[in-house]
Amino acid sequence: MKKIMIIGAGVYQLPLMQEAAKEQEVILVAPQINSVFEDLAAKCYICDVTDKEKILAYAQKEKIDGVITDQTDIAVRTVAYVAEKMGLPGIGYQTACLFTDKSLMRDKCEELNIPTLPHVLARNLEQALQFYNGIGADSVIIKPVDNQGSRGVQQVDSESDLRLKFEEAMRYSRSGGVLIEKRAKGREFVVESLCLDGKYYPLICGDTNYFNIQDAFAAKTRLFPSCAEKSLVDRVQALNKKIVTGFGLIQGISHSEYIMDGDELYLIETAARGGGVFISSDLISIGTGLNTEKFLIRIALGEQDSAPELEYRNNACGYMAFFLPKGEVIFADGIDEVMQLPYVHRNLLHDIKIGLKTEFQLDKTTRYPVIVSASNLEELEKRMEYIRGRINIKVSDGENENTIIWE
């Protein structure tokens, strides 16, 4: 039995943990570890996942055979650092830095002659104001260059708006930098792919739809396959291949997001890990038949000698998600029925109970997602609509009763 280190123990790392524990001795490292993860691990270390030197020491002590994470950006650099220092399979530390820094991504795109939206890396308000006042755009997006979960991402529509929001974005930046970029207003795509020995393989490409809430840069649905015309999807896929290979990803899963401005496609971000909200663990599998966790474990252990067989399926799948308002859940109906539907897969509905205290925060980590599949996109939409009508949750803030936020 080999030893594999998994870094991160959030809800989206559970599928990887469950698969690894079947055949490997798992060394788990995370700042918090609940009983579900603890029961699957051979040994646990409580540690900040960005503390690469301390985690390297743990890895050397345990004499691990491989190190991995999935569906989270924060641990990607540490995974690459430990692998590189121990001579284990990995993507390389510098590549990991490129895939986890939104400013470096744009610099690399320019190096590859890939168009980028007007942008600047600002480390103080003065730099931000200078760029904003000179860009001539009606609005910009500001985002921490190296965070995840859309924390600190905001839209800015005026100089006074920028003054109010800049420090909030800076608070979420670990490196002290904020990317400020002209706001694009076109349709968005999400693309999953894999690499092995530097060769690129497309997986699934879908559409992103957002909540209609100011500064809620979190998707309410991501639907696969994209409903865009084939020629446009082909352009998205070609751009993704150019970026992922141009950025030097030699192995693993990649998750990329793109936006249109006019007829041009621009990178929002790309990541050297599988898509969160169970895209990696469930939606890739539904669309292609790939057991993503098994693939990731095998490449981490140096056991994946050839490209996995992919079965591109003529079906549809996606996730739908909702927010709950701030308060306490006082009524919850339809959850058990929805969870038992044959076309509903992994979800976080089981967390919702009467008495649950909720905090309304506009980032990706506070949504409640449901994975849904169907034979085609039309049927998928109908099934999602049924779920929206069936789940009934009421939250009291002490004065008023509020319901699910779907839009």
Mean of the pLDDT values across residues 314-337? 97
State pLDDT tens for residues 345-384. 999 999 999 999 998 877 778 899 999 999 999 999 999 9
Question: Residue 147: its pLDDT value, please?
Answer: 81
Is 99 within 8 Å of 47 (Cβ atoms)?
no
Q: Which pLDDT score, from 0 to 100, does residue 215 have?
A: 78
In single-letter form, the type of residue at position 218 comes to A
Domain 317-403 has CATH 3.90.600: yes
Average pLDDT over residues 178-206: 97
Domain 118-182 is found in CATH 3.40.109.10? no
pLDDT at residue 360 in the model: 81
Separation CA 66–CA 299 (nearest Å): 9
Find the angle CA(202)-CA(206)-CA(210) to the nearest 5 degrees.
145
Tokens of 338: 């929805």
d(CA 65, CA 159): 52
For residue 214, name the pLDDT band (cuts at 50, 70, 90).
Answer: confident
Residue ranges covered by each domain of the chain? 3-98, 118-182, 317-403
Distance from C-alpha of 185 to C-alpha of 207, rounded to nearest angstrom: 14
Q: How far is it, in rounded angstroms, from Cα 63 to Cα 4?
A: 9
Distance CA 250, CA 252 (A): 7
Nearest residue to 273 via CA among 29, 76, 77: 76
Which residues is 406 bridged to in the sheet? none
Over residues 339-353, the pLDDT tens digits come to 999 999 999 999 999
Coil, strand or helix at 45: strand
Assign a CATH topology to domain 3-98. Answer: Rossmann fold (3.40.50)
CA distance 206 to 202: 12
Q: How distant, in Å, are the alpha carbons of 6, 138, 352 from that of 208? A: 29, 23, 25
Indicate the pTM of the whole model.
Answer: 0.96
Q: What's the pLDDT tens digit per position in 243-287?
A: 999 999 999 999 999 999 999 999 999 999 999 999 999 999 999
Return d(Cα 302, Cα 299) in angstroms, integer: 5
Cα–Cα distance between 178 and 169 in angstroms, integer? 7
Contact by Cβ (8 Å): 93, 80:
yes
Residues 93-126 have pLDDT tens digits of 999 999 999 999 999 999 999 999 999 999 999 9
Residue 62: band (very low, low, confident or very high) from pLDDT cuts 50, 70, 90:
very high
Handedness of CA 344, 13, 369, 290 (dihedral sign): negative
**Is residue 4 within 8 Å of residue 297, measured between CB atoms?**
yes
Phi first, then psi, for residue 263 (nearest 5°) are -100, 0
pLDDT at res. 217 = 85
pLDDT, mean over the chain: 96
**What is the DSSP secondary-structure string of 161-228?**
HHHHHHHHHHHT-SSS-EEEEEPP-S-EEEEEEEEETTEEEEEEEEEEEE-SSTT--SEEEEEES--S
